[in-house]
Amino acid sequence: MSIVRDSRLEEFKRIEHLLYGINYAAWFNLYGPADPDLGLTDTVKLLISTECEISGAVSSSPDDAIFGIMDMIFYKGDTGSGPLDLETKKAEISKLMGKVFSIIGICDAEMVVEFRFKDGHPAYPVFWDFAYDIHAKGQRWIFVGSSSD
């Protein structure tokens, strides 16, 4: 299995554009596919950076992961920091995220693990961030997102 390492989906670019706002930016990335038999720490170090240290890895269900991700994506912020005109963009963002979830197969995942970065986060999270280890359709993906100012 060849390793892609870093996949900037077109859907991510569009979602990031839609979520842009006053003192606010969102970022998403997909890493993989990777060997599903490799440990999570080794996978993150291989795909993202040897500087990565993880903490708080807990099992999740596909539905809980999707709900958590969408809850963060639809973070409204406040007048000084947050996405602009979020309500008018929710339908398009939901459709794009549906495509992302389909690409990684999260709805039918055999295993989903939520984790945090203790060190080496690939972005600069301020308002929210997520990281999931997703095993689906014989592949393993690390899906990371965050927002910052």
> Binning pLDDT at 50, 70 and 90, where does residue 8 land?
low
Give Cα separations from 59 to 19, 63, 130 (angstroms): 28, 12, 14
Question: Phi/psi at 24 (nearest 5 deg)?
Answer: -155, 130
Whether pLDDT at 136 is above 60? yes
CA-wise closest residue to 116 among 107, 125, 105? 125
Domain regions of the chain by residue span: 10-148
Percent of the chain with pLDDT over 70: 95
User: What fold does the segment set 10-148 form as a domain?
Assistant: Protein Transport Mog1p; Chain A (3.40.1000)
For residue 4, is pLDDT > 50?
A: no
Task: Kindly report the pTM of this predicted structure.
Answer: 0.92
pLDDT (tens digit per residue) in 41-91: 999 999 999 999 999 999 999 999 999 999 999 999 988 899 999 999 999
Separation CA 146–CA 19 (nearest Å): 11
* Phi and psi angles of residue 15, each rounded to the nearest 5 degrees, phi first: -60, -45
Q: What is the mean pLDDT of residues 13-25?
A: 95
Residue 3: predicted pLDDT:
45
pLDDT at 15: 97
**Tally of CA atoms within 13 A in the half-sphere of 33 that contains its CB:** 14
Q: What share of the chain is helix, strand, coil (3-state, %, to 5)?
A: 35, 35, 30
Write the pLDDT tens digit of every residue in 124-133: 899 999 999 9
For residues 93 and 73, the answer to whether their CB atoms sit within 8 Å is yes
Residue 7 is predicted with a pLDDT of: 60
pLDDT at position 144 is 96
Q: Are 127 and 77 in contact (CB under 8 A)?
A: yes
